[in-house]
Chain A
Amino acid sequence: MPSTSGPQSWKPRVRVRPGGTLERVSRVLRKYRLATVCESSLCPNIGECWGSGTVTFMILGDTCTRACRFCYVKRGKPAPPEPDEPLRVALAARELGLRYVVVTSVSRDDLPDAGASHFASTIRELRKTLPQARIEVLTPDFWGREDLVAMVAREGPDVFAHNIETVRRLTPRVRDPRAGYERSLEVLRLAKKHGPPGMLTKSSILLGLGEEWGEILEAMRDLREAGVDILVLSQYLRPSPAQLPVARVYTLGEFKRLEEEAYKMGFKAVVAHPLARTSYRAEWAYLKAVGANAPNNRRAP
């Protein structure tokens, strides 16, 4: 149970069942030489998600050109994109039997299109291979360029996610200098503008980086005004001493209050939980947002 005391020492307890599904997921990922954000970010939900057969693919390699100060993904000079990676993602998704596929990437400031065409190819390959599957992309900011955001949105993912990550004031301290609060809002507006009707947008805020309550509400309102449909609120957990310290641990009650506020603002689905991550229970959030019969959001971890 989270508490407001001892933020540095609080760690969530997560369950891992060796064998079975977890190992099968791992074998499929190795077979197709694919990275996942589950591994790259040391995600604590890996046991639950992989154990239930779901993953979040990370395309364009495992090395990011940016250095956001909360993130554990390897940074440096990435290798050139692999043209067959979109197909490999699609084949792995089919082998895993996914009906809801989430694809994210590192930031690729080294590429002329920041990786937008690679995202577009991945969506196309997935549609070809798994026509029934729902597709969610979680993209970098493409420098806020309209043509690049449009290139991905026009492929018609079911959900276009891009993360604001933190409140306005903390953005320069928390995110890479090339990222921006306004720029991220613009990416979300542009995605909505160029995506097909019915395409949902989604964004996440990490809590516990030093933000004030009012600033969280402001960020939520800003996202809503940018047309965002699905909101994710989660507790920042420090991946290693090299990242920012945890400034505060929010209680489950506080997450609940923020969730209620978010629904009042008009978000169609809200995933607010210490262990929520952008792709966590993504299918549930999607189904909730489209008003379909969402399966129970299972147990809280």
Chain B
Amino acid sequence: MQASRLEVRIPEALWARRTKWRGRVVAVHVAPGVRVSEGDPLVEVEVEKAVIVIESPYAGLVVEVPVSVGDEVGPGDVVAVVEVA
């Protein structure tokens, strides 16, 4: 069976009706080649009231992490690509 590559995005749903917010990446917990389980922290993004820890919705192999600490990100942005068997 072929593995599929799934993008993990910052949910569009977060506070979407109120604001087009942007946040700053303050931590990156994974790198390409790292195996993750469902619920593992991928990146942390600082917003006005909190630091949101984006968890992996999938178990698999991280193949891409397109963000770095200090990057500005917002809803819909890809923070990791996970290869799921």
User: A interface vs B, CB < 8 Å?
Assistant: 11-20, 22-23, 25-26, 29, 35-36, 38-44, 46-47, 50, 62, 72, 74, 237-240
Q: CB within 8 A of B17: which of A16, A25, A39?
A: A39
Chain B residues contacting A50 (CB-CB under 8 Å) are: 13
Q: CB within 8 A of B53: which of A15, A23, A39?
A: A15
The answer to whether B48 and A18 touch across the interface, beta carbons within 8 angstroms, is no
* Cβ distance B46 to chain A, nearest Cβ, rounded Å: 7
Q: Does B11 contact A (CB under 8 A)?
A: yes
Q: Does B49 contact A (CB under 8 A)?
A: yes
Q: Does B36 contact A (CB under 8 A)?
A: no
The answer to whether B54 and A11 touch across the interface, beta carbons within 8 angstroms, is no
* Interface set, chain B 8-51, CB cutoff 8 A to A: 8-19, 21, 39, 41, 44, 46-51
Q: A11-B51, A240-B48 are in contact. Are A17 and B17 (CB under 8 A)?
A: no
The answer to whether B51 and A13 touch across the interface, beta carbons within 8 angstroms, is yes
Q: CB within 8 A of A13: which of B17, B18, B21, B44?
A: B44
The answer to whether A74 and B11 touch across the interface, beta carbons within 8 angstroms, is no
Interface centre among A17, A22, A29, A41 (most CB of B within 10 A): A17
Q: CB within 8 A of A17: which of B12, B51, B55?
A: B55
The answer to whether B49 and A16 touch across the interface, beta carbons within 8 angstroms, is no
Q: A39-B18, A40-B17, A62-B18 are in contact. Are A18 and B11 (CB under 8 A)?
A: yes
- 22 examples of A-B residue contacts, CB within 8 angstroms: A11-B46, A11-B49, A11-B51, A13-B44, A14-B52, A15-B52, A16-B10, A16-B11, A16-B52, A16-B54, A17-B55, A20-B57, A23-B11, A26-B12, A26-B16, A38-B15, A39-B15, A41-B18, A43-B49, A44-B49, A47-B14, A237-B50
User: B interface vs A, CB < 8 Å?
Assistant: 8-19, 21, 39, 41, 44, 46-55, 57
Q: How far is the CA of A301 from the CA of B44 in the complex (A)?
A: 16
* Cβ distance A22 to chain B, nearest Cβ, rounded Å: 6
The answer to whether A72 and B51 touch across the interface, beta carbons within 8 angstroms, is no
The answer to whether A15 and B55 touch across the interface, beta carbons within 8 angstroms, is yes
Q: A13-B44, A18-B9, A25-B13 are in contact. Are A40 and B49 (CB under 8 A)?
A: no
Do most interface residues of chain A lie in helix, strand or loop, or is the interface mixed? mixed
* Cβ distance B6 to chain A, nearest Cβ, rounded Å: 9
The answer to whether A42 and B49 touch across the interface, beta carbons within 8 angstroms, is yes
Interface centre among A40, A43, A47 (most CB of B within 10 A): A47
* Cβ distance B14 to chain A, nearest Cβ, rounded Å: 6
Q: How far is the CA of A42 from the CA of B55 in the complex (A)?
A: 19
- 6 closest residue pairs by CB, A with B: A26-B13, A44-B50, A19-B57, A237-B49, A17-B55, A39-B17
* Cβ distance B64 to chain A, nearest Cβ, rounded Å: 16
Chain B residues contacting A238 (CB-CB under 8 Å) are: 48-49
Q: How far is the CA of A19 from the CA of B14 in the complex (A)?
A: 11
Q: How far is the CA of A39 from the CA of B8 in the complex (A)?
A: 21
Q: How far is the CA of A90 from the CA of B55 in the complex (A)?
A: 31
The answer to whether A62 and B11 touch across the interface, beta carbons within 8 angstroms, is no
Q: CB within 8 A of A35: which of B17, B50, B54?
A: B17
Chain A residues contacting B57 (CB-CB under 8 Å) are: 17-20
Chain A residues contacting B8 (CB-CB under 8 Å) are: 18
Q: How far is the CA of A47 from the CA of B51 in the complex (A)?
A: 12
* Cβ distance B10 to chain A, nearest Cβ, rounded Å: 7
Q: A16-B54, A35-B17 are in contact. Are A239 and B48 (CB under 8 A)?
A: yes
Select from chain A the residue with minimum beta-carbon distance to B7. Answer: A18
